[in-house]
Structures are given as structure tokens and as C-alpha cells.
Amino acid sequence: MPYVYIARCRDGTLYAGWTDDLEKRIRAHNDGKGAKYTYSRRPVTLAYSEEFSSKSDAMRREAAIKKMPRLAKLNLTDGAKNA
């Protein structure tokens, strides 16, 4: 299943992405293979995730989350029960 996730970086910043395997993706970020953004901000932790039935739905949600102001993203992570 596709997921959208928000990772919290060591420096307190947030990174949003999508994946088919949450554990593998967070491990990739922490191994320095996830994204340029997170490479120098390791370690990262999973702060939030949502599951979707299709890749396209997950990608749309990722785009929407990336457009959100930081406070809205923090509100998602603070209310997260599944991450």
C-alpha cells in the first residue's frame, strides 16, 4: 500500500514524502540514501503517516502536505496516532 509520511529531522525540520514501505524508506533516509534534504539532517524519525489505496492518491496528498505551512504540518504530527 502507498503511504504519505512526514519525517522529523535531527534539526527539527520536517520532510514529507511517499513510499510503498515506510520502514524501508525511513531506513534509507537514515542510511543517507533517502533524499538530499535529509542526508545532512540525520537521523530522521517517522512523525506521521497516512495509508492510501493508490499511488496517485498518495502523491496528491504528498503535494498538498508539501504546500502546507509548517504549523499545519506540526499539527498533523502532533495529532498522529499511527506514526
Confidence of residue 55 (pLDDT cuts 50, 70, 90): very high
Residues 6+ apart with CB under 8 A from 16: 4, 5, 6, 7, 62, 65, 66, 73
Report the distance separating Cα 51 and Cα 33, nearest Å.
Answer: 23
Report the distance separating Cα 31 and Cα 51, nearest Å.
Answer: 24
Report pLDDT for 61.
Answer: 98
Report pLDDT for 79.
Answer: 75
Report the distance separating Cα 30 and Cα 24, nearest Å.
Answer: 10
Residues 6+ apart with CB under 8 A from 57: 2
Task: Note the pLDDT tens digit of each residue in 24-35.
Answer: 999 999 999 999
Report pLDDT for 42.
Answer: 97
- pTM for this entry: 0.92
Residue 48 has pLDDT above 60, yes or no: yes
